Amino acid sequence: MKKNRIISAILSAAIFASVFSFTSCGDSSSSGEGSSKGNESITIAIPNDTTNEARALLLLQDKGYIKLKDGAGITATSLDVADNPHNIQFKEVEAAQLPNVLKDVDYAIINSNYAIDAKLNPVKDSLAIEGSSSAYSNILAVKDGRQNDDIIKALKAALESKDVADLIKEKYDGSVVSTVDKPTDGYDESIDYSSLSGKSVTVAASPTPHAEILAKAKEILAKKDITLKITEFTDYVQPNNVVESGEIDANYFQHQPYLDDFNKQNNTHIVSVSSIHVEPLGLYGGKQKNLDALK
């Protein structure tokens, strides 16, 4: 019995020593210089739609916070992150909801239209901002086959006007940037506007800035007795669906990569007729108010 008690005591001591050693190593590691930061994760909320998620990841790569796999481009997802030195955890969120979750995450990458709606100034409030890449210009789009309809050409000309370009520059001060190379007087010389007098054209659009920009185009068309009817949507699906069905003539809310992916996924037949503006994607502080956590 005595021998058994001695053996039991030795085993207990060995187990205790092993546990103590393991615990001490963990404490030492977490309290070592710079090691606790390495073990902490940073949560960044990003858009969950295919092309805007890729834009967000490309922005983070451009700023040096992550590295994507070779070949990852405008359809990249968080699975394509090859190097993540800051241990970033990605929270994929519907784009319109990103401003609402900002307070619950360290950072969020938000489309300018939703940032503006949430009273965030993309130029002044963002901690990092995307370049004005033409690949992400917001477009006027119609169902394939309607590109050369006079009413669509009249709408296109109004949106490509100097009045619209000036509005974008003055109202948004860099948060939204016109991509029209040679703004016009707002009218297309190839159109017989008298034949369009009394007619209307309908457009599906996001509230900000698209509906606001369309309001200026509406004034231009009204001078030719053409009525522009704007229907606002807060999601990225219905504006394409109503154009595909013919319920609405055109839409103005998306960029070309998003439209290409939408057509592919939904077997729709919508095409771009003009690139109007770009909305740089921005990184905004939530729980983290500066970029120190990413340095």
Look up the CATH number of the domain holding residue 54: 3.40.190.10
Verify that 157 and 249 share a domain, yes or no.
yes
Whether 211 and 114 map to the same domain: the answer is no
**In sequence order, what are the residues at sequence separation of 6 or more whose Cβ sits closer than 8 angstroms to the Cβ of residue 24?**
none
Q: Please give the full DSSP string across 12-74, using - where no structure is assigned.
A: HHHHHHHHHHHHHHHHHHHHSTTHHHHHS-EEEEEE-SHHHHHHHHHHHHHTTS-EEPTT--T
Task: Give the pLDDT of residue 30.
Answer: 26
Range of the domain at 109: 36-131+282-294
* Residue 181 and residue 269 in one domain: yes
Reported as a single tens digit per residue, the pLDDT across 230-274 is 999 999 999 999 999 999 999 999 999 999 999 999 999 999 999
Shared domain check, 188 and 83: no
Is position 10 within any domain?
no
Predicted confidence at residue 209, as pLDDT, reads: 96
State whether 170 and 235 are in the same domain: yes
Examine the domain organization and report whether 269 and 175 are in the same domain. yes
pTM: 0.79
pLDDT digits (tens, 9 = 90+) for 160-210: 999 999 999 999 988 999 999 999 999 999 999 999 999 999 999 999 999
Q: Are residues 148 and 203 in the same domain?
A: yes
Percent of the chain with pLDDT over 70: 86
CA 154, distance to chain mean position in Å, is 29
Residue-wise pLDDT for 77-127, tens only, equals: 999 999 999 999 999 999 999 999 999 999 999 999 999 999 999 999 999
Contact status, residue 121 vs residue 279, Cβ threshold 8 Å:
no
> How many domains are there within the chain?
2
Cα dist from 227 to 57, 84, 171, 217, 230, whole Å: 41, 52, 24, 10, 10
Q: Are residues 127 and 141 both part of a single domain?
A: no
DSSP H helices in 133-251: 150-159, 162-172, 212-222, 238-245
Question: Angle at the Cα of 171 (from 169 to 177), degrees rounded to 5?
Answer: 35
**Range of weakest confidence among 84-88, 133-137, 151-155, 200-204:** 133-137
- Whether residue 21 lies inside any domain: the answer is no
C-beta separation of 67 from 82 below 8 A:
yes
Domain shared by 172 and 51, yes or no? no
- pLDDT value at residue 227: 98
Nearest CA among 183, 219, 218 for reference residue 201: 218
39 pLDDT band, cuts 50/70/90, is low
